Structure 1
Amino acid sequence: MAETELRQLLTSLQFSDSAFPSGFYTMSHSLEGYSQAKLVRRGDVFGLLADLLVHSVGPGDATALAVAHRAAQGEDWDAVQDADQRLFASKLNAEMRKASVRSGHQMIDMAREVVGGAGIEEYARRVRARETPGCQPVATAVVYAASGLETEKAVASDLFAFAVSFVGAGLRLRLTDHKDAQVVLHDIAPVIEQVAIDAAERDLDDLGGCAPVADIMSAQHERAEARLFAS
């Protein structure tokens, strides 16, 4: 029996919640690297978040999520695996690849217990067999497809989870405060909406963002002497 739209919404809220143990809490998504290089200061969080969503996360992670979500809905697991492998290969530095895979494995392991289902089990089997890397956006796509969530809503939910994680890192790095963090999350909604729409319209051949400074910051962060975050 198909779940109701309300039940689907509740599932998306659960999996995008900052308290969900997906590992997002350990990531700054290159923000700590920017902070260490003194390229970001208080008041810059919104602009940097918007740029990353439009130029990196949207064309990369969000596009892979949309492609994998449609494939999972059609039970085309080879296509899901193709999206997973392409996304992994598109991440230019080891830190981002490791962070995405670690979070993806946590996501799919938790989903086996929380949601269950043949689709999640098939993807988990391929991850365990190392047939597919298990990147977080693709794991999330499989979970949301199993829950019956529409593609655009699935993408938007994951983009919001990214935004919450990014702003949370900003709080711990003292680049914002709790009030301004909520303002950022409210004001970023139109950006998330457009990025989600754009990602849902792309196919796998269009996957790939371009944010070279973020890649450099992440690469430098790998070798930092002290780090609060895994990425």
Structure 2
Amino acid sequence: MTSATSLLTCLQLSDSAFPSGFYTMSHGLEGFSQARLVVRDDLEELARGMLRHSVGPADATALARAHDAVRVGDWERVVEVDSLLHASKLNTEMRKASVRSGHQLTDVALQAFGGPELARWSEMVTTKATPGCQPVAAAVVHASRGVGVEEAVVSDLSAFAASFLGAALRLRLTDHVHAQVLLHRLAPEIAEVATSAVERELDDMGGFVPMADVVSAQHERAPARLFAC
């Protein structure tokens, strides 16, 4: 059973007020919007596609495998997962955004929670021994706080969904009520994607979202951008 402390950690990290850097990210949505490939009625399908074919197979899987490694103190494995995830992100801005958010999450969590695991991870990131991608940073935080792997993955996927829909709000693709309706509808998808990520081996990590990669590449060169990615 998840302890109250672990549950509170999940809630704190997935809260949109937590300064992890997610506020600066649209997770590719701004690129789709700039290319006029998404409208209000497309948001749910696009979010589901990103969860099932991108975030779940890549970020959530990396989080699960890094979480396992932290729990047994295998820091070489943590670096391996982090490096593979970083290399799997094809676009420069996606890599930079993940690393920037990961570093921010590490800094805030170290001050908020402390602990030897976070201190060691922070030193590794600071000395550039590892890229420090956001999902792996989240894995270190959750594992160090005693949060189970499935709960950690669900928390991070929920944070992604909330951030994605928050970006939709700022891009005027939806309103607050509709965003909450969509977030509720995405819950079964998040649960299914989380289960798959927890069971997936590291060798099978990696998403396949060619259209998202294309619009992200275009977004990198956009004359005006509201979001970092």
Which range, TM-score by smaller chain? Answer: over 0.9
Tell me the residue number matched to 1:212.
210
Q: TM-score, normalised by structure 1?
A: 0.98
Whole-angstrom distance in 1 between the partners of 2:99 and 2:42: 28
Taking the aligned partners of 2:95 and 2:217, their CA distance within structure 1 comes to: 11
Name which of 184, 187, 198 aligns with 1:186: 184
**2:21 equivalent among 17, 23, 27:** 23
**Superposition pairs for residues 48-63 of structure 1, below 5 Å?**
48-63=46-61
Offset, 1:42: 1.3
Letter in 1 for 2:62: A
The one-character-per-residue Cα deviations of 1:115-163 (angstroms, maximum 9, x if unpaired) are 1111111111111111100000000000000110000110000000000
How many pairs were matched up?
Answer: 229
- Unaligned regions of 5+ residues in structure 2, if any? none
**2:109: which partner in 1?**
111
State yes or no: 1:9 paired with 2:45. Answer: no
Amino acid paired to 1:111:
A
State the partner residue of 1:73. Answer: 71
Counterpart of 1:143 in structure 2 is 141
Q: Which amino acid aligns with 1:58?
A: G
C-alpha distance in 1, partners of 2:73/2:120? 10
TM-score, length of structure 2 as denominator length? 0.98
The percent identity for this pair of structures is: 61
CA distance in 2, matches of 1:47, 1:130: 38
Cross-structure match for 2:195: 197
Give the Cα–Cα distance (whole angstroms) in 1 for the partners of residues 201 and 110 of structure 2: 28
Write the distance in 2 (CA, Å) between the matches of 1:94 and 1:158.
22
Once residues 171 and 44 of structure 1 are traced to their aligned partners in structure 2, the CA distance between those partners, rounded to angstroms, is: 14
Q: CA deviation at 1:44?
A: 1.1
2:127 — aligned with what?
Answer: 129
Mapped to 1, the partners of 2:150 and 2:41 lie a distance apart of 30
Distance 2:194 2:73 in 1: 22
Structure 1 distance, partners of 2:168, 2:86, is 26
Deviation at 1:12, TM superposition (A): 0.8
CA distance, structure 1, for counterparts of residue 117 and residue 79 of structure 2: 13
Alignment-mate amino acid for residue 120 of structure 2: E
Consecutive unaligned residues in structure 1, runs of 5 or more: none
Number of the residue aligned with 2:155? 157
**Superposition CA RMSD, Å:** 1.0
Does residue 72 of structure 2 align to residue 43 of structure 1?
A: no
- Report deviation, 1:23: 0.5
d(CA) in 2 for partners of 1:60 and 1:131?
21
For residue 101 of structure 1, report the CA deviation from its aligned partner.
Answer: 0.1
Deviation at 1:204, TM superposition (A): 1.1
Q: Report deviation, 1:53.
A: 0.3
